Structure 1
Protein backbone atom coordinates (compact mmCIF):
# COMPACT_ATOMS: atom_id res chain seq x y z
CA UNK A 1 0.00 0.00 0.00
CA UNK A 2 1.66 3.10 -0.83
CA UNK A 3 0.43 6.56 -0.43
CA UNK A 4 1.86 7.28 2.94
CA UNK A 5 -0.58 8.51 5.60
CA UNK A 6 -4.04 7.16 5.59
CA UNK A 7 -4.68 5.46 2.31
CA UNK A 8 -7.89 3.44 2.20
CA UNK A 9 -7.46 -0.20 1.33
CA UNK A 10 -9.43 -3.22 0.36
CA UNK A 11 -10.64 -5.63 2.88
CA UNK A 12 -11.32 -9.27 3.36
CA UNK A 13 -9.70 -11.83 5.51
CA UNK A 14 -10.06 -14.32 8.25
CA UNK A 15 -12.16 -17.39 7.52
CA UNK A 16 -13.47 -20.54 9.38
CA UNK A 17 -12.24 -23.12 11.79
CA UNK A 18 -12.77 -25.87 9.27
CA UNK A 19 -9.99 -26.89 6.88
CA UNK A 20 -9.74 -24.38 4.07
CA UNK A 21 -10.74 -25.55 0.63
CA UNK A 22 -7.83 -25.43 -1.80
CA UNK A 23 -8.24 -24.35 -5.39
CA UNK A 24 -5.16 -24.18 -7.57
CA UNK A 25 -5.55 -21.63 -10.31
CA UNK A 26 -5.50 -24.08 -13.15
CA UNK A 27 -6.28 -24.46 -16.81
CA UNK A 28 -8.17 -21.80 -18.58
CA UNK A 29 -7.94 -19.84 -21.76
CA UNK A 30 -5.28 -17.34 -22.70
CA UNK A 31 -1.54 -17.40 -22.39
CA UNK A 32 0.24 -18.04 -19.10
CA UNK A 33 1.67 -14.93 -17.50
CA UNK A 34 5.45 -15.00 -17.30
CA UNK A 35 6.20 -14.42 -13.65
CA UNK A 36 8.75 -11.73 -13.01
CA UNK A 37 8.65 -10.23 -16.50
CA UNK A 38 7.04 -7.03 -17.67
CA UNK A 39 4.22 -7.54 -20.10
CA UNK A 40 5.15 -6.49 -23.64
CA UNK A 41 4.05 -3.02 -24.65
CA UNK A 42 1.39 -3.96 -27.14
CA UNK A 43 -2.36 -4.09 -27.62
CA UNK A 44 -4.81 -1.22 -27.71
CA UNK A 45 -6.73 0.70 -25.07
CA UNK A 46 -6.57 -0.85 -21.62
CA UNK A 47 -4.82 -3.91 -23.07
CA UNK A 48 -1.89 -1.74 -24.08
CA UNK A 49 1.30 -2.19 -22.12
CA UNK A 50 1.77 1.57 -22.36
CA UNK A 51 -1.16 2.06 -19.97
CA UNK A 52 0.53 -0.07 -17.34
CA UNK A 53 3.90 1.53 -18.06
CA UNK A 54 2.45 4.95 -17.20
CA UNK A 55 1.07 3.58 -13.94
CA UNK A 56 4.46 2.06 -13.10
CA UNK A 57 6.18 5.38 -13.86
CA UNK A 58 3.86 7.12 -11.39
CA UNK A 59 4.64 4.50 -8.74
CA UNK A 60 8.37 5.00 -9.27
CA UNK A 61 7.90 8.76 -8.93
CA UNK A 62 6.12 8.14 -5.61
CA UNK A 63 9.14 6.27 -4.27
CA UNK A 64 8.66 2.61 -5.19
CA UNK A 65 12.20 1.54 -6.05
CA UNK A 66 12.29 -2.28 -6.13
CA UNK A 67 12.48 -3.33 -9.78
CA UNK A 68 10.74 -6.62 -8.91
CA UNK A 69 7.72 -4.74 -7.61
CA UNK A 70 7.57 -2.34 -10.54
CA UNK A 71 7.92 -5.25 -12.95
CA UNK A 72 5.10 -7.16 -11.26
CA UNK A 73 2.73 -4.17 -11.30
CA UNK A 74 3.58 -3.65 -14.95
CA UNK A 75 2.90 -7.28 -15.80
CA UNK A 76 -0.58 -7.63 -14.30
CA UNK A 77 -3.56 -6.17 -16.15
CA UNK A 78 -5.50 -4.55 -13.32
CA UNK A 79 -8.56 -3.84 -15.46
CA UNK A 80 -9.24 -7.59 -15.61
CA UNK A 81 -9.89 -7.58 -11.86
CA UNK A 82 -12.45 -4.75 -11.65
CA UNK A 83 -16.09 -4.60 -12.67
CA UNK A 84 -16.74 -3.65 -16.30
CA UNK A 85 -18.40 -0.37 -15.29
CA UNK A 86 -15.16 0.73 -13.60
CA UNK A 87 -12.51 -0.41 -16.07
CA UNK A 88 -11.74 3.15 -17.18
CA UNK A 89 -10.51 3.83 -13.63
CA UNK A 90 -8.48 0.64 -13.39
CA UNK A 91 -5.07 2.32 -13.74
CA UNK A 92 -5.79 5.34 -11.60
CA UNK A 93 -4.32 5.33 -8.11
CA UNK A 94 -7.62 4.65 -6.42
CA UNK A 95 -9.36 1.80 -4.63
CA UNK A 96 -12.46 0.46 -6.37
CA UNK A 97 -15.43 -1.58 -5.12
CA UNK A 98 -15.39 -5.30 -5.91
CA UNK A 99 -18.61 -6.30 -4.16
CA UNK A 100 -19.55 -7.49 -0.66
CA UNK A 101 -18.49 -4.11 0.76
CA UNK A 102 -14.88 -4.78 -0.21
CA UNK A 103 -12.47 -2.94 -2.52
CA UNK A 104 -9.41 -3.56 -4.64
CA UNK A 105 -6.49 -1.63 -3.13
CA UNK A 106 -4.84 1.29 -4.85
CA UNK A 107 -1.87 0.28 -7.00
CA UNK A 108 0.33 2.38 -4.71
CA UNK A 109 -0.93 0.47 -1.67
CA UNK A 110 -0.23 -2.90 -3.28
CA UNK A 111 3.21 -1.73 -4.39
CA UNK A 112 4.08 -0.38 -0.95
CA UNK A 113 3.14 -3.57 0.88
CA UNK A 114 4.81 -5.90 -1.59
CA UNK A 115 7.98 -3.80 -1.49
CA UNK A 116 7.98 -4.03 2.32
CA UNK A 117 7.54 -7.80 2.05
CA UNK A 118 10.58 -8.03 -0.23
CA UNK A 119 12.75 -5.53 1.66
CA UNK A 120 16.13 -6.92 2.58
CA UNK A 121 15.77 -10.05 0.45
CA UNK A 122 18.35 -10.93 -2.20
CA UNK A 123 17.66 -10.38 -5.88
CA UNK A 124 15.29 -12.86 -7.44
CA UNK A 125 12.08 -14.32 -6.14
CA UNK A 126 10.93 -14.55 -2.56
CA UNK A 127 10.01 -18.06 -1.43
CA UNK A 128 6.53 -19.22 -0.49
CA UNK A 129 4.08 -16.44 0.49
CA UNK A 130 0.74 -16.50 2.33
CA UNK A 131 -1.78 -13.79 1.46
CA UNK A 132 -4.61 -13.12 3.91
CA UNK A 133 -7.62 -11.73 2.05
CA UNK A 134 -7.65 -12.70 -1.64
CA UNK A 135 -10.34 -10.20 -2.63
CA UNK A 136 -10.64 -10.13 -6.42
CA UNK A 137 -7.25 -11.81 -6.88
CA UNK A 138 -5.24 -8.82 -8.12
CA UNK A 139 -2.61 -8.79 -5.39
CA UNK A 140 -2.22 -12.57 -5.65
CA UNK A 141 -1.40 -12.11 -9.35
CA UNK A 142 1.16 -9.44 -8.46
CA UNK A 143 2.70 -11.66 -5.77
CA UNK A 144 2.98 -14.52 -8.28
CA UNK A 145 5.58 -12.44 -10.11
CA UNK A 146 7.81 -11.95 -7.05
CA UNK A 147 7.34 -15.22 -5.12
CA UNK A 148 7.95 -18.84 -6.01
CA UNK A 149 4.54 -19.87 -4.66
CA UNK A 150 1.50 -17.99 -3.36
CA UNK A 151 -1.19 -19.34 -1.04
CA UNK A 152 -4.07 -16.87 -0.84
CA UNK A 153 -6.93 -17.33 1.61
CA UNK A 154 -10.34 -15.61 1.56
CA UNK A 155 -13.19 -15.83 4.08
CA UNK A 156 -15.97 -14.57 1.79
CA UNK A 157 -17.20 -17.22 -0.62
CA UNK A 158 -18.35 -14.64 -3.18
CA UNK A 159 -14.89 -13.09 -3.39
CA UNK A 160 -13.13 -16.45 -3.41
CA UNK A 161 -15.22 -17.42 -6.43
CA UNK A 162 -14.61 -14.04 -8.10
CA UNK A 163 -10.85 -14.35 -7.66
CA UNK A 164 -10.90 -17.88 -9.06
CA UNK A 165 -12.81 -16.69 -12.13
CA UNK A 166 -10.47 -13.71 -12.59
CA UNK A 167 -7.28 -15.74 -12.26
CA UNK A 168 -8.19 -18.94 -14.08
CA UNK A 169 -7.83 -17.51 -17.63
CA UNK A 170 -4.34 -16.27 -16.75
CA UNK A 171 -3.15 -19.79 -15.93
CA UNK A 172 -0.81 -18.67 -13.16
CA UNK A 173 0.48 -22.01 -11.95
CA UNK A 174 2.10 -20.81 -8.71
CA UNK A 175 -1.06 -19.35 -7.12
CA UNK A 176 -3.24 -21.52 -4.86
CA UNK A 177 -6.61 -20.14 -3.73
CA UNK A 178 -8.03 -21.16 -0.37
CA UNK A 179 -11.48 -20.64 1.10
CA UNK A 180 -11.11 -20.59 4.85
CA UNK A 181 -10.24 -18.73 8.02
CA UNK A 182 -7.34 -16.42 7.42
CA UNK A 183 -6.80 -15.87 11.12
CA UNK A 184 -5.58 -19.45 11.44
CA UNK A 185 -3.42 -19.16 8.33
CA UNK A 186 -2.68 -22.29 6.32
CA UNK A 187 -0.34 -24.61 8.22
CA UNK A 188 -0.03 -27.12 5.38
CA UNK A 189 1.84 -24.57 3.27
CA UNK A 190 4.15 -23.40 6.06
CA UNK A 191 6.80 -22.23 6.62
CA UNK A 192 6.32 -19.01 4.65
CA UNK A 193 9.02 -16.59 3.60
CA UNK A 194 6.41 -13.83 3.85
CA UNK A 195 2.83 -13.23 4.99
CA UNK A 196 0.83 -10.24 3.77
CA UNK A 197 -2.61 -9.23 5.06
CA UNK A 198 -5.39 -7.06 3.68
CA UNK A 199 -7.32 -6.60 6.93
CA UNK A 200 -6.36 -5.27 10.33
CA UNK A 201 -6.88 -6.78 13.77
CA UNK A 202 -5.96 -5.87 17.33
CA UNK A 203 -2.82 -7.95 16.98
CA UNK A 204 -1.12 -10.19 14.46
CA UNK A 205 -2.47 -13.72 15.05
CA UNK A 206 -0.08 -16.12 16.76
CA UNK A 207 -0.75 -18.68 14.03
CA UNK A 208 0.86 -16.40 11.45
CA UNK A 209 4.00 -16.03 13.54
CA UNK A 210 4.20 -19.79 14.01
CA UNK A 211 3.84 -20.36 10.26
CA UNK A 212 6.46 -17.75 9.34
CA UNK A 213 9.93 -19.04 8.50
CA UNK A 214 13.01 -17.82 10.33
CA UNK A 215 14.16 -14.78 8.39
CA UNK A 216 10.66 -14.15 7.05
CA UNK A 217 8.47 -11.12 7.54
CA UNK A 218 4.81 -10.24 7.99
CA UNK A 219 3.31 -7.06 6.55
CA UNK A 220 -0.10 -6.31 8.02
CA UNK A 221 -2.30 -3.45 9.22
CA UNK A 222 -2.76 -3.56 12.99
CA UNK A 223 -4.94 -1.56 15.36
CA UNK A 224 -2.83 0.66 17.62
CA UNK A 225 -3.65 2.27 20.94
CA UNK A 226 -6.35 4.83 20.31
CA UNK A 227 -8.08 2.73 17.66
CA UNK A 228 -6.11 3.82 14.59
CA UNK A 229 -4.58 1.28 12.27
CA UNK A 230 -0.93 1.37 11.30
CA UNK A 231 1.06 -0.68 8.86
CA UNK A 232 3.25 -3.07 10.83
CA UNK A 233 6.21 -5.15 9.71
CA UNK A 234 7.26 -8.14 11.83
CA UNK A 235 10.63 -9.79 11.17
CA UNK A 236 11.26 -13.23 12.65
CA UNK A 237 14.78 -14.19 13.71
CA UNK A 238 15.97 -17.29 15.51
CA UNK A 239 15.84 -15.40 18.81
CA UNK A 240 13.07 -12.81 18.53
CA UNK A 241 10.38 -11.10 16.50
CA UNK A 242 11.21 -7.48 15.62
CA UNK A 243 8.36 -5.06 15.02
CA UNK A 244 8.36 -1.85 13.00
CA UNK A 245 5.34 0.46 13.07
CA UNK A 246 4.93 2.53 9.92
CA UNK A 247 2.30 4.85 8.47
CA UNK A 248 -1.38 5.11 9.37
CA UNK A 249 -3.65 3.01 7.16
CA UNK A 250 -7.34 2.20 6.81
CA UNK A 251 -8.28 -1.45 6.22
CA UNK A 252 -11.37 -3.46 6.94
CA UNK A 253 -11.33 -5.31 10.27
CA UNK A 254 -9.68 -8.69 10.52
CA UNK A 255 -12.40 -11.26 11.22
CA UNK A 256 -12.54 -14.96 11.95
CA UNK A 257 -14.92 -17.43 10.38
CA UNK A 258 -16.19 -17.75 6.82
CA UNK A 259 -19.19 -16.23 5.11
Structure 2
Protein backbone atom coordinates (compact mmCIF):
# COMPACT_ATOMS: atom_id res chain seq x y z
CA UNK A 1 0.00 0.00 0.00
CA UNK A 2 2.72 2.46 1.03
CA UNK A 3 4.71 1.50 -2.07
CA UNK A 4 1.72 2.36 -4.25
CA UNK A 5 1.39 5.76 -2.57
CA UNK A 6 5.09 6.48 -3.16
CA UNK A 7 4.78 5.51 -6.83
CA UNK A 8 1.64 7.63 -7.22
CA UNK A 9 3.33 10.68 -5.71
CA UNK A 10 6.49 10.10 -7.77
CA UNK A 11 4.37 10.03 -10.95
CA UNK A 12 2.67 13.32 -10.00
CA UNK A 13 5.98 15.01 -9.19
CA UNK A 14 7.57 13.76 -12.43
CA UNK A 15 4.56 15.04 -14.36
CA UNK A 16 5.07 18.53 -12.93
CA UNK A 17 8.80 18.42 -13.68
CA UNK A 18 8.28 17.25 -17.28
CA UNK A 19 5.63 19.93 -17.74
CA UNK A 20 8.03 22.63 -16.51
CA UNK A 21 10.81 21.32 -18.73
CA UNK A 22 8.91 20.60 -21.94
CA UNK A 23 5.82 22.82 -21.91
CA UNK A 24 7.22 25.81 -19.99
CA UNK A 25 10.64 25.58 -21.62
CA UNK A 26 12.58 25.57 -18.33
CA UNK A 27 16.05 24.40 -19.33
CA UNK A 28 17.69 24.92 -15.91
CA UNK A 29 17.43 21.56 -14.12
CA UNK A 30 17.45 23.02 -10.61
CA UNK A 31 14.85 25.67 -11.39
CA UNK A 32 12.69 23.03 -13.06
CA UNK A 33 12.73 20.87 -9.93
CA UNK A 34 12.02 23.84 -7.64
CA UNK A 35 9.04 24.90 -9.78
CA UNK A 36 7.86 21.29 -9.85
CA UNK A 37 7.95 21.02 -6.05
CA UNK A 38 6.20 24.41 -5.81
CA UNK A 39 3.40 23.24 -8.14
CA UNK A 40 3.18 19.92 -6.28
CA UNK A 41 2.91 21.70 -2.89
CA UNK A 42 0.24 24.11 -4.15
CA UNK A 43 -1.77 21.16 -5.49
CA UNK A 44 -1.56 19.38 -2.12
CA UNK A 45 -2.60 22.51 -0.24
CA UNK A 46 -5.55 23.09 -2.57
CA UNK A 47 -6.71 19.52 -1.91
CA UNK A 48 -6.73 20.03 1.86
CA UNK A 49 -8.12 23.59 1.69
CA UNK A 50 -11.72 22.42 2.37
CA UNK A 51 -10.46 20.79 5.57
CA UNK A 52 -8.73 24.04 6.55
CA UNK A 53 -11.95 25.97 5.98
CA UNK A 54 -13.91 23.45 8.05
CA UNK A 55 -11.31 23.70 10.82
CA UNK A 56 -11.51 27.51 10.73
CA UNK A 57 -15.30 27.38 11.11
CA UNK A 58 -14.86 25.08 14.10
CA UNK A 59 -12.33 27.47 15.66
CA UNK A 60 -14.68 30.44 15.19
CA UNK A 61 -17.42 28.40 16.85
CA UNK A 62 -15.13 27.90 19.84
CA UNK A 63 -14.50 31.63 19.97
CA UNK A 64 -18.21 32.43 20.03
CA UNK A 65 -18.93 30.19 23.01
CA UNK A 66 -15.97 31.45 25.05
CA UNK A 67 -18.19 33.57 27.37
CA UNK A 68 -20.13 30.40 28.25
CA UNK A 69 -16.89 28.45 28.71
CA UNK A 70 -15.60 31.14 31.09
CA UNK A 71 -18.80 30.88 33.14
CA UNK A 72 -18.26 27.12 33.44
CA UNK A 73 -14.63 27.66 34.42
CA UNK A 74 -15.71 30.03 37.17
CA UNK A 75 -18.55 27.77 38.33
CA UNK A 76 -16.46 24.57 38.46
CA UNK A 77 -13.03 26.05 39.24
CA UNK A 78 -12.60 23.62 42.14
CA UNK A 79 -13.81 20.55 40.24
CA UNK A 80 -11.66 19.89 37.15
CA UNK A 81 -13.46 16.67 36.26
CA UNK A 82 -16.88 18.32 36.32
CA UNK A 83 -15.49 21.28 34.36
CA UNK A 84 -14.19 18.98 31.65
CA UNK A 85 -17.52 17.09 31.47
CA UNK A 86 -19.62 20.26 31.28
CA UNK A 87 -17.29 21.83 28.70
CA UNK A 88 -17.53 18.77 26.47
CA UNK A 89 -21.31 18.85 26.88
CA UNK A 90 -21.37 22.51 25.83
CA UNK A 91 -19.26 21.79 22.74
CA UNK A 92 -21.61 18.98 21.79
CA UNK A 93 -24.71 21.19 22.24
CA UNK A 94 -23.18 23.96 20.14
CA UNK A 95 -21.87 21.47 17.54
CA UNK A 96 -18.27 22.58 18.03
CA UNK A 97 -15.36 20.17 17.58
CA UNK A 98 -12.30 20.45 19.83
CA UNK A 99 -10.17 18.56 17.32
CA UNK A 100 -11.51 20.27 14.18
CA UNK A 101 -8.23 22.06 13.49
CA UNK A 102 -5.90 19.10 13.98
CA UNK A 103 -6.34 17.09 10.78
CA UNK A 104 -5.22 19.76 8.25
CA UNK A 105 -2.04 20.39 10.26
CA UNK A 106 -1.25 16.67 10.50
CA UNK A 107 -1.92 15.69 6.87
CA UNK A 108 1.29 17.22 5.39
CA UNK A 109 3.44 15.00 7.66
CA UNK A 110 2.67 11.63 6.01
CA UNK A 111 3.05 13.33 2.62
CA UNK A 112 6.47 14.56 3.75
CA UNK A 113 7.46 11.02 4.71
CA UNK A 114 6.26 9.63 1.39
CA UNK A 115 8.18 12.31 -0.50
CA UNK A 116 11.26 11.39 1.51
CA UNK A 117 11.23 7.97 -0.14
CA UNK A 118 10.35 9.46 -3.53
CA UNK A 119 13.43 11.71 -3.50
CA UNK A 120 15.63 9.01 -1.98
CA UNK A 121 15.24 7.12 -5.26
CA UNK A 122 16.21 10.03 -7.48
CA UNK A 123 19.96 9.83 -7.87
CA UNK A 124 22.62 11.14 -10.22
CA UNK A 125 20.95 14.43 -11.11
CA UNK A 126 23.64 16.72 -12.49
CA UNK A 127 23.22 20.49 -12.36
CA UNK A 128 20.23 20.46 -10.00
CA UNK A 129 21.27 23.59 -8.13
CA UNK A 130 19.22 26.58 -7.04
CA UNK A 131 20.42 29.88 -5.58
CA UNK A 132 22.94 29.00 -2.83
CA UNK A 133 21.96 25.30 -2.89
CA UNK A 134 24.59 23.44 -4.89
CA UNK A 135 22.68 20.16 -4.98
CA UNK A 136 18.90 20.01 -4.46
CA UNK A 137 19.16 16.27 -3.80
CA UNK A 138 21.58 16.68 -0.91
CA UNK A 139 21.33 18.46 2.47
CA UNK A 140 21.87 22.23 2.45
CA UNK A 141 25.60 22.71 3.04
CA UNK A 142 25.00 26.16 4.56
CA UNK A 143 22.16 24.93 6.84
CA UNK A 144 19.93 27.84 5.85
CA UNK A 145 16.99 25.63 4.86
CA UNK A 146 16.74 23.86 8.26
CA UNK A 147 16.51 27.25 9.98
CA UNK A 148 13.82 28.37 7.53
CA UNK A 149 12.02 25.06 8.06
CA UNK A 150 11.94 25.62 11.83
CA UNK A 151 10.74 29.23 11.49
CA UNK A 152 8.11 28.40 8.88
CA UNK A 153 6.82 25.57 11.12
CA UNK A 154 6.54 27.81 14.16
CA UNK A 155 4.78 30.86 12.63
CA UNK A 156 1.50 29.22 11.45
CA UNK A 157 1.28 27.14 14.64
CA UNK A 158 1.78 30.33 16.69
CA UNK A 159 -1.01 32.09 14.78
CA UNK A 160 -3.26 29.05 15.25
CA UNK A 161 -2.57 29.05 19.00
CA UNK A 162 -3.52 32.73 19.21
CA UNK A 163 -6.70 32.04 17.26
CA UNK A 164 -7.74 28.97 19.27
CA UNK A 165 -9.19 29.38 22.78
CA UNK A 166 -7.27 27.53 25.50
CA UNK A 167 -8.90 24.32 26.69
CA UNK A 168 -9.42 23.54 30.39
CA UNK A 169 -6.57 21.27 31.49
CA UNK A 170 -5.07 21.40 27.99
CA UNK A 171 -1.40 21.21 27.07
CA UNK A 172 0.87 24.22 26.86
CA UNK A 173 0.61 24.89 23.13
CA UNK A 174 3.44 27.44 23.18
CA UNK A 175 5.89 24.76 24.29
CA UNK A 176 4.41 22.28 21.83
CA UNK A 177 4.87 24.74 18.96
CA UNK A 178 8.51 25.35 19.87
CA UNK A 179 9.15 21.63 20.21
CA UNK A 180 7.56 20.88 16.83
CA UNK A 181 9.54 23.68 15.13
CA UNK A 182 12.78 22.48 16.71
CA UNK A 183 12.09 18.89 15.67
CA UNK A 184 11.44 19.89 12.04
CA UNK A 185 14.59 22.02 11.99
CA UNK A 186 16.63 19.11 13.38
CA UNK A 187 15.15 16.61 10.91
CA UNK A 188 15.74 19.02 8.00
CA UNK A 189 19.45 19.13 8.84
CA UNK A 190 19.96 15.83 7.01
CA UNK A 191 16.99 15.91 4.62
CA UNK A 192 17.51 16.51 0.92
CA UNK A 193 17.12 20.20 0.13
CA UNK A 194 14.21 19.69 -2.25
CA UNK A 195 12.27 17.89 0.51
CA UNK A 196 12.89 20.78 2.91
CA UNK A 197 11.74 23.20 0.20
CA UNK A 198 8.44 21.30 0.00
CA UNK A 199 7.99 21.74 3.74
CA UNK A 200 8.89 25.45 3.72
CA UNK A 201 6.65 26.28 0.74
CA UNK A 202 3.78 24.37 2.34
CA UNK A 203 4.26 26.22 5.62
CA UNK A 204 4.28 29.61 3.88
CA UNK A 205 0.97 28.76 2.21
CA UNK A 206 -0.35 27.49 5.55
CA UNK A 207 0.70 30.75 7.23
CA UNK A 208 -1.34 32.81 4.76
CA UNK A 209 -4.34 30.48 5.16
CA UNK A 210 -4.10 30.51 8.95
CA UNK A 211 -3.89 34.30 9.06
CA UNK A 212 -6.99 34.88 6.93
CA UNK A 213 -9.06 31.84 7.95
CA UNK A 214 -8.24 31.68 11.67
CA UNK A 215 -6.17 34.49 13.18
CA UNK A 216 -7.81 37.56 11.63
CA UNK A 217 -11.44 36.45 12.28
CA UNK A 218 -10.49 35.37 15.82
CA UNK A 219 -8.90 38.72 16.66
CA UNK A 220 -11.95 40.47 15.19
CA UNK A 221 -14.23 38.31 17.36
CA UNK A 222 -12.14 39.02 20.49
CA UNK A 223 -12.15 42.79 19.81
CA UNK A 224 -15.91 42.72 19.22
CA UNK A 225 -16.49 40.85 22.48
CA UNK A 226 -14.25 43.26 24.41
CA UNK A 227 -16.12 46.20 22.90
CA UNK A 228 -19.47 44.73 24.02
CA UNK A 229 -18.11 44.04 27.50
CA UNK A 230 -16.77 47.60 27.72
CA UNK A 231 -20.15 48.94 26.62
CA UNK A 232 -21.94 46.90 29.30
CA UNK A 233 -19.50 48.12 31.96
CA UNK A 234 -20.01 51.69 30.77
CA UNK A 235 -23.79 51.33 31.04
CA UNK A 236 -23.44 49.88 34.55
CA UNK A 237 -21.25 52.83 35.55
CA UNK A 238 -23.75 55.35 34.19
CA UNK A 239 -26.58 53.60 36.04
CA UNK A 240 -24.55 53.58 39.25
CA UNK A 241 -23.91 57.32 38.91
CA UNK A 242 -27.48 58.19 37.96
CA UNK A 243 -29.14 56.11 40.69
CA UNK A 244 -28.11 58.38 43.63
CA UNK A 245 -29.21 61.43 41.63
CA UNK A 246 -32.61 59.85 40.98
CA UNK A 247 -33.01 58.98 44.66
CA UNK A 248 -32.10 62.55 45.68
CA UNK A 249 -34.56 63.93 43.15
CA UNK A 250 -37.35 61.70 44.52
CA UNK A 251 -36.63 62.82 48.09
CA UNK A 252 -36.90 66.49 47.08
CA UNK A 253 -40.25 65.85 45.40
CA UNK A 254 -41.58 64.03 48.46
CA UNK A 255 -40.66 67.00 50.65
Structure with greater strand share of residues: 1
Structure with greater helix share of residues: 2
Q: TM-score range by the shorter chain?
A: under 0.3
Normalising by structure 1, we get a TM-score of 0.22
Which structure would you say has the larger Rg?
2
Structure with more contact order per residue of length (Cα contacts < 8 Å, sep ≥ 6): 1
Normalising by structure 2, we get a TM-score of 0.22
